[in-house]
Amino acid sequence: MKKLTCVALAAVMAFGLLAGCGEQSPAASDGSKANSGLSGSVATDGSTSMEKVIGSLGEAFTAQNPGVNFTYNPTGSGSGITAVSEGRCDIGLSSRALKDGEKALGLAGTVLAYDGIAIVVNNGNPVAELSVEDIAKIFTAEITNWSEVGGNDAEIVLIGREAGSGTRDGFESITDTEDACKYRQELTSTGDVITTVSQNINAIGYASLAAVGDKVKALKVGGVAPSETTVKDGSYVVQRPFILVTKADAKLSGTAQAFFDYVTSSEAAEIISKAGAVSAA
């Protein structure tokens, strides 16, 4: 008798499960139909600095189009550009302008947003403002002591990023210090730079404006404090573009094109600014 009840119970439960499935699946497909007919996938690949921006854009896009599968592979600007030229993703993400060699491969870049690069020092450092020239002199070790720029009498410790990083490339090209920076440390992530600067009172480094919290102090450059407004109006000069990389001669898939149109529309501008960058639209 017990056995029979068991079997009956199991059967009921199994039926319930099946019934659940049967009811749910049409509902789900109805839901996606209600929003848009879009389905398929959008694959993006590239700059780790763009993670926040592209992540929130992807979230917003998939919220509107639940049938779309959005992926982002944080590999770095160089890898993203390679991936799009080899057809391994729909849209490549680069936090630096395309090089001539890359344009020659038939790639086109569209500016999605601008990112301010903040020059950060320890909270205990009395220096609050530097000119671009002074920053260049500091990073090329022409100025090696904080007292020369109005700070304490202590050696300046330069914290940078690794060769190939978009932030480093952006910083060095803006301050015209390419290949001339005499770093004391080359770290592999924005977070590491901020942690290191927050621990050493004599350190100076650079990081994406979006990533700077109150652990470190962002310096004014030429009298202008880094902020979304000053980056957008161009008065804060240490900034770089976030670029969507596509193949110039090949068309995007319908879904990828829809995503591309969405992120470059004014509708996406608010999401981009929430993520800490400044929309180009």
Which residues are near another protein by CB under 8 A?
48, 75-79, 81-82, 154-157, 162-166, 169, 178-179, 183-188, 192, 195-196, 199-200, 202-203
In angstroms, give the least distance from the CB of 28 to another protein.
38
In angstroms, give the least distance from the CB of 216 to another protein.
16
DSSP state of 145: B
- In order, the DSSP letters of 254-266 are HHHHHHHHHHTSG
For another protein, give the closer residue by CB, 78 or 226: 78
Please, are residues 222 and 146 in contact by the beta-carbon 8 Å criterion? Answer: no
In angstroms, give the least distance from the CB of 194 to another protein.
12
Structure-token pair, residue 89: 């993703």
Please, are residues 232 and 135 in contact by the beta-carbon 8 Å criterion? Answer: no
For another protein, give the closer residue by CB, 21 or 163: 163
Residue type, position 125, single letter: N
For another protein, give the closer residue by CB, 56 or 185: 185
Rounded to the nearest 5 degrees, what angle is found at the Cα of 159, between the Cα atoms of 155 and 165? Answer: 155
For another protein, give the closer residue by CB, 16 or 164: 164
In angstroms, give the least distance from the CB of 222 to another protein.
27
> CA-CA distance, 35 to 29, in Å (whole number)?
10
In angstroms, give the least distance from the CB of 186 to another protein.
4
| Half-sphere CA count of 40, side-chain side, radius 13 A | 14
> CA-CA distance, 30 to 10, in Å (whole number)?
31
For another protein, give the closer residue by CB, 82 or 255: 82
Residue with the two structure tokens 């879904």:
255
In angstroms, give the least distance from the CB of 196 to another protein.
8
Cα 23 to the center of its chain, rounded Å: 40
> CA-CA distance, 101 to 89, in Å (whole number)?
20
CA-only gyration radius of the chain, Å: 25
For another protein, give the closer residue by CB, 78 or 241: 78
